């Protein structure tokens, strides 16, 4: 259970100065609205978190606050799973998606009890190793498992559009192994999927990214520049 409280980010100012609108979606699974809100977004209710995020995006666009051609979503770790899920569920709503150290091959990882976090994470996601219902449910939303070919997107959404993808990862990340985003991006780059997907690998960092103030700023500057380029900003 994790609440996203409002906070000031000086790094966000350069985006706001260019006219970017920044919104935080408080989806079910967080703690903002109590225990029931949390329970409605975990285990066999996990898909509610994805549906909530998509609904928030659609509402902002319907009200004219955002434009699908310039909307970029961002999330990291378990929020990176969210990014992979919404890319599959509503590719037409996003111009780009930045997924930081994303948990995008969730089913494979959560089936391996030898990984550092797997057994403790069963309390949050369920245990697919010993429960077939949990296995089937996780398989139905795990981003890697549900990537659609361009022809499938055309049939489902009436367009082959897929958001541009920037995935970031670190070689020394023990929480979400770097193989997850690499495997995901490799699948997205297959000709039949036809997605514009790239990955940035930090050689010395861990799950939290590069250490040191200046390295973090450099990393953030690259990510912000990518987001602004996807939104259509030229400077």
Token digits for 150? 């361009």
Given this model, what pLDDT does residue 26 score?
A: 93
In the numeric block, the tokens 């400077």 are attached to 235
In the numeric block, the tokens 């050689």 are attached to 203
In the predicted model, is pLDDT for residue 173 greater than 90? no
> Angle CA(207)–CA(166)–CA(15) in degrees, nearest 5?
90
Query: Residue 72: which of 103, 42, 100 has the closest Cα?
Result: 100
Given this model, what pLDDT does residue 205 score?
A: 64
Chain segment 93-131, per-residue pLDDT in tens: 999 999 999 999 999 999 999 999 999 999 999 999 999
52 as an active site residue: the answer is no
How far apart are the C-alpha atoms of 91 and 88, rounded to whole Å? 6
Q: Domains of the chain (ranges plus CATH)?
A: 67-231 (3.40.50.1820)
173 as an active site residue: the answer is yes
How far apart are the C-alpha atoms of 187 and 145, rounded to whole Å? 10
Mean of the per-residue pLDDT values of the chain: 94
Q: Which of 14, 26, 48, 77 is catalytic?
A: 77
Instruction: Assign 235 a pLDDT band (cuts: 50, 70, 90).
Output: low
How far apart are the C-alpha atoms of 163 and 4, rounded to whole Å? 25
In the predicted model, is pLDDT for residue 209 greater than 80? no
Chain segment 1-38, per-residue pLDDT in tens: 578 787 888 889 999 999 999 999 999 999 999 999 99
Chain segment 184-197, per-residue pLDDT in tens: 999 999 999 999 99
Given this model, what pLDDT does residue 20 score?
A: 96
Task: Name the β-bridge partners of 72.
Answer: 96
> Using an 8 Å Cβ cutoff, are 27 and 41 in contact?
yes
Given this model, what pLDDT does residue 134 score?
A: 98
Given this model, what pLDDT does residue 136 score?
A: 98
How far apart are the C-alpha atoms of 218 and 224, rounded to whole Å? 10
């Amino acid at each position: 259970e994790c609440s996203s409280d409002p906070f000031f980010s000086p790094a966000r100012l350069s985006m706001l100065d260019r006219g970017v609108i920044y919104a935080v979606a408080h989806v079910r699974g967080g703690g903002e609205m109590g225990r029931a809100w949390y329970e409605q977004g975990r285990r066999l209710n996990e898909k509610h978190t994805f549906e909530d995020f998509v609904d928030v995006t659609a509402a902002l666009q319907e009200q004219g606050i955002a434009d699908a051609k310039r909307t970029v979503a961002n999330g990291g770790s378990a929020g990176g799973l969210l990014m992979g899920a919404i890319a599959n569920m509503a590719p037409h709503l996003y111009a780009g998606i930045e997924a930081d150290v994303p948990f995008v091959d969730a089913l494979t990882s959560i089936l391996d009890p030898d990984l550092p976090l797997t057994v403790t994470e069963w309390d949050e996601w369920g245990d697919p190793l010993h429960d077939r219902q949990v296995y089937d449910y996780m398989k139905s939303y795990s981003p890697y498992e549900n990537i659609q070919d361009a022809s499938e997107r055309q049939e489902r959404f009436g367009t082959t559009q897929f958001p541009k993808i920037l995935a970031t990862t670190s070689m020394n990340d023990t929480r979400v192994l770097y193989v997850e985003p690499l495997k995901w991006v490799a699948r997205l780059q297959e000709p039949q999927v036809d997605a514009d997907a790239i990955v940035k690998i930090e050689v010395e960092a861990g799950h939290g990214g590069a250490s040191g103030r200046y390295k973090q700023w450099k990393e953030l500057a690259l990510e912000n520049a990518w987001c602004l380029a996807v939104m259509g900003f030229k400077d």
